[in-house]
Structure 1
């Protein structure tokens, strides 16, 4: 745990998961990997529904003040994959380097990575990052952004220390 205490939300987007027809293995991977950054205070599995995703992201950030929201699922080309659109609706600004870095690292493993539409950005003083829906994809993508997350969250919260070493 850092000297900052960050709260984390894990939002799984899955029609089957929301109906109880699929276990949320990706959410568990996130929970394990993110433990050093802060405490998971919010967790939900909801359907791939644009308005429900928007409402959940806004509630978690605006009402509850969650510092970091990691979504899993809904970033591909299926007609039900609406996570990037929902995320775009709620962001104040994007952090393009995070999404670019995840896609670049994934491209080394599969050409299908170029089909990802994942976004990362800021709403108020919170970071929202879209991750793939598979446990393997979550692990590979979260490994890429994890080294920068604590620093980014500190800066967003107003840490005045210089970034240069």
Structure 2
């Protein structure tokens, strides 16, 4: 079975300064560890909410570290320092707006403020980048809303074949039974 390299970028001024513990990055790691059969290699960064730094970190994880999947957490709201979607759009070759639409739809079942989220996803080379909210509970809810599309997307960009643990079902791939 293929090994997959997953990048996790926590965008938080306070967590990057050590003012509080990053709980979002570990929530992403736990989510994928539970769901994937693949061996996972992790590349993790906690950085401030600064667009240039976010762009450089995403580019490095894609182009140098070879991450097939990068999950960002934080910086997707309407506040002035929330610049994760802008950084993602700046470095991607293709945007996948359906990811953000699906994640907001799921989140609206739990909180009316989900419409304030600007989550998105895009492709850079052989990497899928997905922007996630900063709350650990919301991370799992949002990823559950797009989980079915991720393995096939990574197949299409020539990444490793992702396989789920049996309790999470079989990864959807058109034409496969």
> 1:25 Cα shift?
0.9
Paired residue for 1:121? 122
Unaligned runs of 5+ in 2: 161-172
> 1:99 Cα shift?
1.1
> 1:65 Cα shift?
1.3
Q: SS in structure 2 opposite 1:99?
A: helix
* TM-score scaled by length of structure 2: 0.85
Paired residue for 1:101? 102
Measured against aligned partners, the alpha-carbon deviations of 1:30-61 in whole angstroms (never above 9, x if no partner) come to 00111216514200100000100000001110
Q: Does 1:164 align with 2:175?
A: yes
Measured against aligned partners, the alpha-carbon deviations of 1:112-153 in whole angstroms (never above 9, x if no partner) come to 111111110100010000000111111111111223222221
- Structure 2 matches for 1:139-150, cutoff 5 A? 139-150=140-151
The runs of at least 4 aligned residues of structure 1 exceeding 6 Å deviation read none
Paired residue for 1:26? 24
- Structure 2 matches for 1:59-78, cutoff 5 A? 59-78=60-79
Paired residue for 2:166? none
Cα-Cα RMSD: 1.6
Paired residue for 1:17? 15
Unaligned runs of 5+ in 1: none
Native 8 Å contact 2:68 2:159 kept in 1:
no
Structure-2 separation of matches of 1:151 and 1:116: 25
Native 8 Å contact 1:10 1:40 kept in 2:
no
Native 8 Å contact 1:29 1:138 kept in 2:
yes
Paired residue for 2:169? none
Distance 1:154 1:38, change over 3 A: farther
Native 8 Å contact 1:17 1:45 kept in 2:
yes
> 1:110 Cα shift?
1.4
